[in-house]
Amino acid sequence: MRRTTTYPVNGHNAMASWRRVAPFWRVAWNFFWIELSRFLPFLRLKSWLLRHLVGMDVAPTASIGVMAMPDILRPDLIHIGPESIIGYNVTILTHEFLPRAYRLGAVEIGAWVLIGANATILPGVRIGDGAIVGAGAVVTRDVPAGTMVGGVPARVIGRVDGDTRASRPGPPLSLEQETAP
Ligand SMILES: CC(=O)SCCNC(=O)CCNC(=O)[C@H](O)C(C)(C)COP(=O)(O)OP(=O)(O)OC[C@H]1O[C@@H](n2cnc3c(N)ncnc32)[C@H](O)[C@@H]1OP(=O)(O)O
Ligand SMILES: O=C(O)C1=N[C@H](C(=O)O)CCC1
């Protein structure tokens, strides 16, 4: 079960009341810095901007890939631990608008986690240390530490303890091997 708090909204659909989630100036500020950071290929600068200007709790050694999209309304509810990788175009949501209510929930990503490209993380989810989320997954519930999940909705597809190819990096290559066509 995701850890979210529900806030009912009367009258129009819940997104129409988005200013109840965060004030206009805060969202405009977050949007500017998050959009800028999405295009920056400088990992340390990106995590610094997100930490100091939009209030995300992102470790300096976390690597956030190009076009990753953290929640612009409540990025302060996102926690990303040291050495974790967030792939291209990953969406991390901490709010969700429903027709007659909105929900808020913190997303906690541990250390040495890999979130594959194009995955979506829903509000209120915890992803444990060393877990792997496959490309394109939609994470709707907690991912235990050391577990590999994939698919829509994300289901366990392995353990990150040697029984998956991704946990066997193999011997280091020489520079010539790495750059060979
Ligand atoms: C550009 C960037 O952003 S790079 C930084 C982000 N990194 C990425 O995006 C990495 C993306 N890589 C993946 O998603 C990989 O598939 C990994 C890391 C999850 C798994 O890699 P491996 O351990 O090599 O898995 P492998 O390819 O051997 O597949 C193992 C099984 O999991 C399944 N599987 C692999 N990836 C996924 C996935 N994304 N979704 C669902 N199932 C998957 C495979 O079909 C296979 O199932 P089978 O045994 O029934 O045939
Ligand atoms: O995945 C890559 O390739 C790169 N990712 C970094 C980023 O997304 O910011 C830096 C450039 C290479």
Q: Number of C-alpha atoms within 13 angstroms, CB side, residue 61?
A: 8
- Cβ of residue 84 lying under 6 Å from some atom of ligand 1: no
In this prediction, what percent of the chain has a pLDDT beyond 70?
91
36: helix, strand or coil: helix
| Domain housing 148 | 5-159
CA of residue 21 to ligand 1 center, whole Å? 35
- Confirm or reject: Cβ of 67 under 6 Å from ligand 2: no
Residue 174 maps to a domain? no
**Domain membership flag for residue 173:** no
Number of domains in the chain: 1
Q: What is the pTM of this model?
A: 0.92
172 is a domain residue: no
The pLDDT assigned to 177 comes to: 61
Strands 63-64, 85-86: pairing is parallel
Cα 7 to averaged position of ligand 1 atoms, centre (Å): 36
pLDDT tens figures, 121-142: 999 999 999 999 999 999 999 9
Answer whether residue 43 is part of any domain: yes
Residues 116, 98 contacting (CB under 8 angstroms): no
Q: Which CATH number covers residue 50?
A: 2.160.10.10
User: Which residue has the least CA distance to atom 13 on ligand 1?
Assistant: 134
Residue 67 counted as domain residue = yes
ipTM confidence: 0.93
Q: Is the CB of 139 under 6 A from ligand 1?
A: no
